[in-house]
């Protein structure tokens, strides 16, 4: 994930563009321009500028995991043996290769990393642990919490 070093100044048009695009990613430029109150050309330039500045990282479809055979979701806390840069870099590079890991966060607290893993079933999760996570050097502990149900799962960043 790209780290931001400087906040981008957004005017009211940029803010409204971001709000609408987060709600309706497939809105046409003409519809977006009309709702914002800009010409289509001006709106397109603003969206392109937001993409080029990194404010808009990418566009994606949100897929329902259970409908594509991935109903099991786990939050996995990983603790490294010691905090050595080589262990951390190796771990991060390997995690980037695992498609079942949807998010990976370096964290403070009881774990060094928290992963969100989406997978078919417990047998597949057992294989993921044994064939992937347990083969990584420098891991001290792995704790798994399985999601029973989603209470809130948003993707939109609040724009003020």
For residue 118, what are the CA distances in angstroms to 52, 58, 103, 111, 124? 31, 21, 10, 19, 10
Residue 98 maps to a domain: yes
Length of the chain counted residue by residue: 160
Q: Give me the pLDDT at residue 87, please.
A: 77
Residue 123 maps to a domain: yes
Do residues 71 and 47 both lie within one domain?
Answer: no
Do residues 77 and 100 both lie within one domain?
Answer: yes
For the chain, the maximum distance between any two Cα atoms, rounded to a whole number of angstroms, is 57
Do residues 76 and 29 both lie within one domain?
Answer: no
Do residues 40 and 82 both lie within one domain?
Answer: no
- What average pLDDT does this structure show over 21-48? 97
Please state the domain count of the chain. Answer: 2
Q: What's the pLDDT band for 3 if we cut at 50, 70, 90?
A: low
Do residues 73 and 139 both lie within one domain?
Answer: yes
Residue 133 maps to a domain: yes
pTM for this one?
0.87
Residue 82 maps to a domain: yes
CB atoms within 10 A of CB 145: 11
Which tens digits make up the pLDDT trace of 52-89?
A: 999 999 999 999 999 999 999 999 999 998 766 777 99
Do residues 80 and 35 both lie within one domain?
Answer: no
**Which positions ≥6 away from 117 have C-beta within 8 Å?**
73, 74, 75, 76, 100, 101, 102, 125, 128
Residue 57 maps to a domain: no
Which tens digits make up the pLDDT trace of 13-31?
A: 999 999 999 999 999 999 9
Do residues 24 and 90 both lie within one domain?
Answer: no
Domain with residue 45: its CATH number is: 1.10.10.10
Which tens digits make up the pLDDT trace of 92-124?
A: 999 999 999 999 999 999 999 999 999 999 999
CB atoms within 10 A of CB 14: 19
Gap between the Cα atoms of 136 and 134, Å rounded: 6
The residue range of the domain holding 84 is: 65-146
> Which position has the token pair 């390997």?
94
Do residues 41 and 103 both lie within one domain?
Answer: no
Residue 2 maps to a domain: no
Do residues 46 and 69 both lie within one domain?
Answer: no
């Amino acid at each position: 994930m790209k780290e931001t070093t400087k906040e981008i100044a957004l005017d009211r048009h940029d803010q409204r563009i971001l709000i609408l695009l987060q709600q309706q990613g497939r809105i046409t430029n003409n519809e977006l321009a009309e709702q914002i109150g800009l010409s289509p050309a001006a709106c397109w330039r603003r969206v392109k500028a937001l993409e080029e500045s990194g404010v808009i990282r990418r566009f994606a479809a949100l897929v329902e995991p259970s409908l594509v055979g991935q109903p099991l979701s786990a939050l996995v806390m990983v603790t490294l043996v010691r905090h050595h840069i080589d262990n951390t870099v190796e771990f991060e590079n390997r995690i980037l290769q695992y498609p079942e890991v949807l998010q990976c966060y370096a964290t403070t607290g009881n774990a060094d990393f928290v992963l969100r893993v989406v997978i078919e079933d417990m047998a597949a999760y057992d294989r993921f642990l044994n064939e992937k996570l347990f083969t990584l050097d420098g891991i001290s502990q792995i704790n798994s919490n399985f999601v029973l149900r989603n209470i809130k799962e948003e993707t939109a960043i609040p724009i003020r």
